[in-house]
Structure 1
């Protein structure tokens, strides 16, 4: 039986939505933000339960205006809020002006298009504008038990894909062939078919399969391994390279269930792992083990990075850790939720104290020019006394 036979896209309760709204309102009061206007799909979904063409307004006193252009009927079915139908942003600006809201406004300045920003500030005569994105991302960083249930179900899709990979991976098939088959496995097990990534010009494949030279190709995105892709128009993901023996194959797979994302990587090899990859693989495995033993509520995420980097230095592998040359990235882990690049981030610079309900991926990876890539990625939920795995599949090297 696949997940499709028992799908349950559980809606957040009204109490869940009200709790999120109250957290935002309290933070607005703390920051002296009189009202906020949200335009980004994922943020609106988080606070309303629907993702239609809409704009969400909230004042620090708790006044809520939910404007929907399309689809009004669908939004009515999916949200607990009253809907204000509008035909365009001009209608939204007119209603806000009529209601007399004034003062400091919070906007999602990390993602808001400048065209909307310029028109909004002109029409509403706004002069005191602050970025509310940081507040929203911090609120979303701590997951509720409802959200954790969705993430765990997303983890079940990851398990199904990696379980299938052991039977499907064959010498001579191309990376693209394997990626296509495994994407189908994911969809049949409940993958929503898309993953969201916050930021301008950000794109993300559901699955990236690399082996040898294809994994060492540097790309533009903020990730240690992107894959060669098929063409310059989409310069990441699986390529037409054929799978060889004795060279590790990395399968980096992102699942999405009910909007919630998981992101894990497993190493595979057909035959015997080339000895060149043994040390970096063992270090990656040890990093996951150490973080799993050390992490819990109250631990500084920066300490997890430093612990890991000491293992890398001891093995004389710093040159290849998390990228090589211009391909290096400055993180070891990233948060997960409705977007694949949420807080917390695991870096040497960010002092973030782990709190129960945070969810993050740890991905120690090594890029070895002229040879290939090796690494692991595992998702964790922060609990009071430990880190809880999101998925259940082994992260050891699979030898086929």
Structure 2
């Protein structure tokens, strides 16, 4: 079932997860959410993945047909799993971890009733912690995604035609994304986090608050999806912020660049330079052990010193973070917030995105993806960082 080129990677993930399980006293971890299944099994399927505190995992599959392996078993319903445990002399867990932040209540209760553990715990928190430190294979996937992400951004100026709206420009960028290998799916953690293949914000739409927990908002095409492009005409003096996903492998890179229709007012270029200064200052202090709160607080300090604190990460609604981990989902751990207790660790991959919103002009700023190395960080998304003219 498992391809040989990722078998060792999966085994490394199992051992890391088991090490974290041991810290909680858990005997077993049962997973069924697609993102977590991909992480531990190398593919998405309908069914369950059970990892004991020691030993190799068991896969209980509903669909698709045709998966094989010594520890792969087909089932119709979850209640069959304890029967198979007994048949194969697998001890039932006394403490079972379930995906408490992701499962529907009924599913959680049904699984708990089937296994009857003495105690349950939250597998979601454990998986997110484990996934925050990447394996060598995962890091290579980021590099592949970054390469195609950069290629697409290099083609954006060729997408523009005078008289376009922001939505029309986004259509053209999405077309090139797909041609360059984009999976077309943008995964995010948490409820109510629907989005397109990324976000494009032009002019005053960048000020529009959104219910979604992204750095900036936008009104969207209608109230059923209030995020991103809204039909703004791309006219002279408009800033266009492009934050389209790097979903060219299952591991998503994150990159934002600013384009202009004609020349922008001088305040836009000044604010953009401050964003670049924030990026430089934060990356200069970033290394294993660096506090994520320190990274945020330094960013805010520079913004306020430049007199731009009131438009840092928004105006009518300001995001209280300046970066976040990335991976199979766009919003993984760690998160760069003022009260974060997290610190950088080697092999974490995160996005840093200092941005400003200027009324009457639009959003300016920068976002790049970084790999934490043993001694510092490495930028993965290397592309022109000044404001790029579209005409």
User: What is the TM-score with the length of structure 2 in the denominator?
Assistant: 0.93
Q: Select 1:178's aligned residue among 161, 169, 177.
A: 169
C-alpha distance in 1 between matches for 2:171 and 2:86: 51
C-alpha distance in 2 between matches for 1:350 and 1:392: 27
The Cα shift of 1:96 comes to: 4.3
Are positions 1:112 and 2:96 aligned together?
Answer: no
Any conservation in 2 of the 1:25–1:62 contact (CA below 8 Å)? no
Are positions 1:279 and 2:279 aligned together?
Answer: no
Are positions 1:354 and 2:347 aligned together?
Answer: no
The Cα shift of 1:60 comes to: 0.9
Are positions 1:269 and 2:274 aligned together?
Answer: no
Partner of 1:364: 354
Residues 329, 206 of structure 1: alpha-carbon distance in 2 compared, 3 angstrom cutoff: same
Are positions 1:86 and 2:82 aligned together?
Answer: no
C-alpha distance in 2 between matches for 1:93 and 1:226: 46
Q: Where do 1:11-22 residues align within 5 Å?
A: 12-22=5-15
Unpaired runs of 5+ residues, structure 1, are 1-9
The Cα shift of 1:36 comes to: 1.2
**Regions of 4+ moved over 4 Å:** 96-100
Partner of 1:322: 313
Partner of 2:367: 377
The Cα shift of 1:202 comes to: 2.0
- 3-state SS in 2 of match to 1:262: coil
Residues 145, 64 of structure 1: alpha-carbon distance in 2 compared, 3 angstrom cutoff: closer
Deviations 1:134-153 (A, max 9, x none): 22112111112211111111
Are positions 1:53 and 2:46 aligned together?
Answer: yes
Residues 12, 312 of structure 1: alpha-carbon distance in 2 compared, 3 angstrom cutoff: farther
For this pair of structures, how many residues does the alignment match? 386
Deviations 1:307-365 (A, max 9, x none): 2111011012222111223x222110011111111111111111322122111111111
Are positions 1:244 and 2:244 aligned together?
Answer: no
- 3-state SS in 1 of match to 2:8: helix
Any conservation in 2 of the 1:171–1:242 contact (CA below 8 Å)? no
- 3-state SS in 1 of match to 2:121: strand
Q: Select 1:226's aligned residue among 217, 222, 235.
A: 217
- 3-state SS in 2 of match to 1:51: coil
Q: Select 1:155's aligned residue among 120, 125, 146.
A: 146
Comparing 108-117 and 161-170, the one that deviates more: 161-170
User: What is the TM-score with the length of structure 1 in the denominator?
Assistant: 0.91
Deviations 1:79-136 (A, max 9, x none): x763111123232354346655031111111111111011122232234111122221
C-alpha distance in 2 between matches for 1:362 and 1:29: 32
C-alpha distance in 2 between matches for 1:371 and 1:189: 31
